[in-house]
């Protein structure tokens, strides 16, 4: 399995950018990095994915290092509704192997 490593928790002040790091040193050349989040008692929600170029959508930006061994998810203006567990994932063999993710606390 393509393991990912994330810090267990992070704090971010409301209105500031939240930067969530992820290490994925065993990623293969054709594997994408995916980010999901899970708000309490809900199903995981897809956020964004990328291969090697930086990506941006209406929810977030994804910065992938040139060697592809790590990435950072950026929530540009965090709100209280962004409080959730964020999962960095490399999908292999069409299965998602979730780790424990990063619990993001947004501080008012």
Partner 1 sequence: DTGVSQDPRHKITKRGQNVTFRCDPISEHNRLYWYRQTLGQGPEFLTYFQNEAQLEKSRLLSDRFSAERPKGSFSTLEIQRTEQGDSAMYLCASRTGPSYEQYFGPGTRLTVT
Q: What angle do CA 97, 60, 23 make, to 5 degrees?
A: 40
Candidate list 49, 61, 63, 68; residue touching partner 1; CB under 8 A? 49
Candidate list 7, 15, 46, 76; residue touching partner 1; CB under 8 A? 46
* 96 lies in the site for partner 1, by CB under 8 A: yes
Alpha-carbon span 48 to 103, nearest angstrom: 18
**20 vs 85, beta carbon nearer partner 1:** 85
Phi, psi (deg, nearest 5) at residue 81: -70, -10
Q: How far is the CB of 14 from partner 1 (least distance, A)?
A: 25
């Amino acid at each position: 399995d393509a393991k990912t490593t994330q810090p267990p928790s992070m704090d971010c002040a409301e209105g500031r950018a939240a930067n969530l790091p992820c290490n994925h040193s065993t990623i293969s050349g054709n594997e994408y990095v995916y980010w999901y989040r899970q708000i309490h008692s809900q199903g995981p929600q897809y956020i964004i994915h990328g291969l090697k170029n930086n990506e941006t959508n209406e929810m977030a930006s994804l910065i992938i290092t040139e060697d592809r061994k790590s990435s950072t998810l950026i929530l540009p203006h965090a709100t209280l509704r962004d409080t959730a567990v964020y999962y960095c994932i490399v999908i292999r063999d069409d299965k998602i192997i979730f780790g424990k993710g990063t619990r993001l606390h947004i501080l008012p």
